[in-house]
Amino acid sequence: MSKLIPGNSKHLTLSDRIRIEQGLNENLPFREIAKSLCKDPSTITKEVKKHISHTHSYGQIIGNTCKHKTVCHEKNVCGNTVCADRKCSTCNRCNRYCSKYQPDDCYKRLHRAPYVCNGCPSRQGCHRAKSYYNAVDADNEYRKELSESRTGINLTPEELARLDNLVSPLVLHGQPIFHICKNHQDEIPVSDRTIYRYINEGILGARRMDLRRAVKYKKRYQHSPKENNIPKGARIGRTMDEFRKYMAEHLDDACNLVQMDTVMGKQGSKQSLLTLYFSNCHLQLIFILEEHTAQNVCDAFDYLEMVLGIDLFRKCFPLIITDNGPEFSNPVYLERAADGGRRTRIFYCDPYSSWQKAECEKNHEYIRYVIPKGTSMDRFTQADMNTLMSHISSTSRETLNGACPYDMATVFLGKDFLDKLHITKVQANDVILSPELLK
């Protein structure tokens, strides 16, 4: 029945408790108080009994409050010299010291509803022990209990140990917390936010510094103006304004947008990485550039056309946007296929506006998990990049509702595309996103 009462499932507020206290002072039965609050009578009963306050807010108790005072012959139980010849039944001091003391409760009000002395017409002259319901005190007790219930660890030592043994090794392998929770949701009894809190408080074996994004961001600084690296003629018909017009007229190509960029190694490194990011499935391809030049980028495109075939290349790379780096300064060659036809379309972001391809830039953080800044790229091979692509693409993403880029790429690009580029699915527990992957 209580579930059918509107609002009965909500917690009592201070206003509700004040109304309860007023009802008790007016000697209203619990049923009428509950009806005025749209609550079940048992809710009012539990509230009053739980927050009984043994105070004397309506006047001090005078005399002895022991139920045995009429038959008691004890003297000087308190040991005070003032009470040497005085019977304890005539004094209230001994109530705190006597082992036989039992409060003389009012059975009529304290052992049955309303359980408190609120509203009793005889309370002013009554010398019995009293109990009251006070709305403010009850609300303070409720809020204190609510706060304490939400602190600490809501797990047994055994459950916490199992959680630590599962989560900490995977964190040390570089796996994101969301990826761990997504692939072990039946084994993890807490949310991802709780795991973050446990790590921050030092409860788990993994520490805060083991988390990827637990460090503070450096303050942004303004770059000094630089000359555009792309020849003016190369940008004609390939600006962001032209890109937006093309997108509006070719909606099918707009759904298969690819963002292109490069990742540099340690200063002085000869090799660098070319990255191609698919916005529709979050897949990022990574290719070794033997030198950071426009010719090597053109060679990478020719390699892709050869491996995939011109038809699959045109289907998967209809539209590419990139920045104004010198390595992308030959768009005519990048757009032209081996048969002389067009294989893709290249557009350039506005100068100093890398945010126009922010997804590609953001996804580089997965590469930096394995190849930190300051690492030389010269020791890596394309086989290493294939391994890196496989692990990054097998990482569950919150932006994909828990799916991983590999699964989404299978839908949008086809498994044949992934197989030709030697990208494989890595089991969730085997994903490694730390430098040890390529050691």
| pLDDT at residue 227 is higher than 60 | no
Rounded CA gap, 253 and 250, in Å?
6
Domain-terminating residue out of 149, 168, 185? 149
| Average of per-residue pLDDT values in the chain | 86
With a threshold of 0.75, does the pTM exceed it? no
The verdict on residue 433 lying in a domain is: yes
Burial class of residue 46 in the structure, from the number of CB atoms within 10 Å of its CB (0-12 exposed, 13-18 middle, 19+ buried): exposed
Which range among 54-58, 201-205, 285-289 has the greatest average pLDDT?
285-289
| pLDDT at residue 44 is higher than 60 | yes
User: Are residues 283 and 202 part of one domain?
Assistant: no
Rounded CA gap, 174 and 195, in Å?
15
Lowest mean pLDDT among 53-57, 89-93, 399-403: 53-57
The verdict on residue 238 lying in a domain is: yes
The verdict on residue 78 lying in a domain is: no
Rounded CA gap, 266 and 377, in Å?
7
User: Are residues 363 and 275 part of one domain?
Assistant: yes
User: Are residues 395 and 268 part of one domain?
Assistant: yes
| pLDDT at residue 280 is higher than 70 | yes
User: Are residues 321 and 387 part of one domain?
Assistant: yes
Burial class of residue 57 in the structure, from the number of CB atoms within 10 Å of its CB (0-12 exposed, 13-18 middle, 19+ buried): exposed
* Better pLDDT: 80 or 398: 398
The verdict on residue 97 lying in a domain is: no
User: Are residues 294 and 373 part of one domain?
Assistant: yes
The verdict on residue 49 lying in a domain is: yes
Query: What are the tokens at 104?
Result: 């003389």
CATH number at residue 400: 3.30.420.10
The verdict on residue 76 lying in a domain is: no
Share of the chain above pLDDT 70, in %: 89
User: Are residues 290 and 193 part of one domain?
Assistant: no
Lowest mean pLDDT among 206-215, 227-236, 347-356: 227-236
Please tell me the predicted confidence (pLDDT) of residue 342.
92
User: Are residues 255 and 310 part of one domain?
Assistant: yes
- What's the mean pLDDT in 230-239? 81
Model confidence at 158, pLDDT cuts 50, 70, 90, reads very high
User: Are residues 141 and 249 part of one domain?
Assistant: no
State how many domains the chain has: 3
Please tell me the predicted confidence (pLDDT) of residue 59.
39
User: Are residues 380 and 346 part of one domain?
Assistant: yes
User: Are residues 368 and 394 part of one domain?
Assistant: yes
Rounded CA gap, 123 and 255, in Å?
79
| pLDDT at residue 409 is higher than 70 | yes
Where are the strands (E) in 105-176, listed by range? 132-133
Domain that holds residue 429: 232-438
The verdict on residue 90 lying in a domain is: no
Query: What are the tokens at 171?
Result: 């964190």
If residue 302 lies in a helix (H) or strand (E), which one and from where to where? Answer: helix 294-308
Residue with tokens 């988390």: 211
DSSP tag of 342? B
| pLDDT at residue 119 is higher than 60 | yes
The verdict on residue 84 lying in a domain is: no
User: Are residues 274 and 141 part of one domain?
Assistant: no
* Better pLDDT: 373 or 10: 373
User: Are residues 414 and 326 part of one domain?
Assistant: yes
* Better pLDDT: 68 or 293: 293
Please tell me the predicted confidence (pLDDT) of residue 100.
79
DSSP-based three-state secondary structure for 320: strand
Please tell me the predicted confidence (pLDDT) of residue 46.
92
